[in-house]
């Protein structure tokens, strides 16, 4: 984590007060309640201990479409009324697309979705399964947005922007209203920031209800345009900070702040943090192992900021928004395996056994007696210098940790095996 940048305020240009006042939050709640869930707020003891004050998780990963995006989509479509008869067009890396497609199917509307060429396969399939037509456009969400806007105009269809729309922002604000009701002494909200619609909506809800809770945004370090545009000298004219469009948090990989969301967040955010790819991966694993919540990269970055332990303790509770759980299962599996290796619970051991009946069985019996689990085993005869009556063996073991691994190695050595870790 690169640290918390304080947001420079006030900024005269782009005063968001008019948009904040115009947001019809009661209407948004009615629209969102049609299909979206009121997701739980889950306490997390380990994060609370680390933060020095209570921490709760707003589990939007349990939302009906797997992310908070259904809120904004429903409110935007409700605001269109009969204007949606020609169908809906949108652009997204996945979560917003899935939300619009889900809402469109529920309301009997046609839906066309523009997605970046490298959008996660699981998200593409999820959108198609809802009956939407997927079109691949460009390498980034920004490029897909440009093509989607043009296509909507040409077809006379209604465009549903993923974040830079007053009705979408008002829909996301319903999450903030739920937080105020469920956590009455709320002191801070940590929220992922991609295009900024969720953070802006939560901020509007907090301020409209008179809450002084801190609002902290988090972006992926590799794609952090708001982090550059909101803080530091001359922030208004700062160039977006985008080191790479490839991040494990693909759901927040938006290169440019929104026309509406940038001035809103200048007025609403108290700070902006960025997190590294490793910190995001660690947060995904933490959520899966410790809280049993499945989060995608974008959904885990608020927790990543807490795990980095650079946010000051507060007197009241902090809520970290786990904004989405639509992660590719292969990616999550690889992260969990990597974590096991880093923790010393998954190790690869090389040794030799006599090339005779029972030679391998003796080795495996010894390992079983030490309560280590054999995950895979491979014989190697050609690639290493061996006695004609020996076979090299490569074992992948699951152990209880480094101490248990040392016990296994010591026991192997005591029985005459020359064993080494990979």
172-202 confidence digits (pLDDT tens): 999 999 999 999 999 999 999 999 999 999 9
Distance between CA atoms of residues 394 and 305, nearest Å:
39
Distance between CA atoms of residues 111 and 50, nearest Å:
44
- The pLDDT, as a whole number, for residue 91 is 92
Domain of 296, CATH number, reads: 3.40.50.1100
Last residue of a domain, one of 293, 322, 338: 338
The question of whether 292 is a catalytic residue gets the answer no
Distance between CA atoms of residues 190 and 218, nearest Å:
7
pTM of the model: 0.82
Q: What is the number of domains present in the chain?
A: 3
Give domain status of residue 168, yes or no.
no
* Beta-carbon contacts of residue 338 (< 8 Å; ≥ 6 apart): 281
Q: What is the largest CA-CA distance in the chain?
A: 83
111: left (phi over 0), alpha (psi -120 to 50) or beta: beta
Distance between CA atoms of residues 160 and 319, nearest Å:
28
User: Are residues 98 and 123 in contact, defined by beta-carbon separation less than 8 angstroms?
Assistant: yes
- The pLDDT, as a whole number, for residue 284 is 92
User: Are residues 41 and 182 in contact, defined by beta-carbon separation less than 8 angstroms?
Assistant: yes
Distance between CA atoms of residues 125 and 186, nearest Å:
38
Last residue of a domain, one of 323, 338, 353: 338
- The pLDDT, as a whole number, for residue 293 is 95
User: Are residues 420 and 350 in contact, defined by beta-carbon separation less than 8 angstroms?
Assistant: yes
Q: Which residues of the chain have pLDDT under 70?
A: 1-17, 228, 231-245, 381-384, 386-388
Nearest C-alpha neighbor of 200 from the set 223, 230, 221, 158: 230
- The pLDDT, as a whole number, for residue 11 is 35
Annotated active-site residue in 53, 211, 231, 323: 323
Last residue of a domain, one of 303, 338, 373: 338
User: Are residues 230 and 255 in contact, defined by beta-carbon separation less than 8 angstroms?
Assistant: no
Give the pLDDT confidence of 261-308 residue by residue, as tens digits.
999 999 899 999 999 999 999 999 999 989 999 999 999 999 999 998
Annotated active-site residue in 58, 67, 69, 79: 69
Same domain, 199 and 258: yes
Same domain, 62 and 192: yes
Please give the residue range of the domain that contains residue 371: 345-421
Nearest C-alpha neighbor of 397 from the set 354, 341, 335, 325: 341
The question of whether 69 is a catalytic residue gets the answer yes
Give domain status of residue 406, yes or no.
yes
């Amino acid at each position: 984590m690169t640290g918390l940048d304080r947001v420079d305020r006030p900024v005269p240009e782009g005063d968001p007060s008019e948009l904040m006042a115009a947001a019809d939050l009661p209407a948004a709640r009615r629209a969102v309640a049609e299909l979206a869930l009121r997701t739980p707020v889950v306490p997390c003891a380990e994060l609370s201990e680390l933060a020095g004050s209570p921490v709760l998780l707003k589990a939007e990963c349990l939302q009906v479409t797997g992310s908070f995006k259904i809120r904004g989509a429903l409110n935007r479509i409700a605001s269109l009324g009969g204007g949606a008869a020609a169908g809906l067009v949108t652009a997204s890396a996945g979560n917003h697309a899935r939300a619009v497609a889900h809402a469109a199917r529920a309301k009997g509307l046609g839906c066309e979705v523009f997605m970046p060429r490298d959008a996660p396969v699981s998200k593409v399939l999820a959108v198609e399964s809802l009956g939407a037509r997927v079109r691949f456009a460009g390498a980034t969400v920004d490029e897909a947005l440009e093509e989607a806007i043009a296509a909507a105009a040409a077809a006379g269809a209604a465009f549903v922007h993923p974040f830079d729309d007053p009705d979408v922002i008002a829909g996301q604000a319903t999450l903030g209203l739920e937080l105020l009701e469920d956590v009455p002494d709320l002191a801070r909200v940590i929220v992922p920031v991609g295009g900024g619609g969720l953070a802006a909506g939560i901020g509007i809800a907090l301020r409209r209800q008179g809450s002084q809770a801190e609002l902290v945004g988090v972006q992926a370090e590799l794609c952090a345009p708001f982090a550059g545009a909101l803080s530091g000298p001359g922030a208004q004219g700062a160039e977006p900070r985008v080191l790479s469009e490839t991040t494990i948090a693909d759901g927040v990989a938006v290169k440019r702040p929104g026309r509406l969301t940038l001035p809103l967040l200048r007025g609403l955010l108290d700070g902006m943090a960025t997190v590294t790819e490793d910190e995001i991966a660690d947060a995904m694993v933490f959520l899966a192992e410790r809280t049993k919540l499945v989060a995608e990269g974008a959904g885990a970055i608020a927790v990543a900021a807490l795990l980095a332990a650079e946010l000051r303790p507060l007197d009241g509770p902090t809520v970290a928004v786990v904004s989405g759980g639509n992660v590719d299962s292969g990616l999550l599996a690889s992260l969990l395996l990597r974590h096991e290796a880093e923790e010393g619970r998954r190790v690869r051991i090389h040794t030799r056994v006599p090339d005779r009946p029972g030679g391998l069985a003796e080795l495996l019996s010894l390992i079983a007696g030490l309560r280590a689990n054999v995950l895979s085993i491979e014989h190697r005869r050609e690639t290493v210098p061996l006695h004609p009556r020996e076979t090299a063996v490569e074992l992948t073991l699951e152990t209880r940790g480094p101490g248990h691994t040392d016990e296994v190695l010591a026991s192997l050595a005591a029985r005459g095996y020359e064993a080494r870790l990979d």
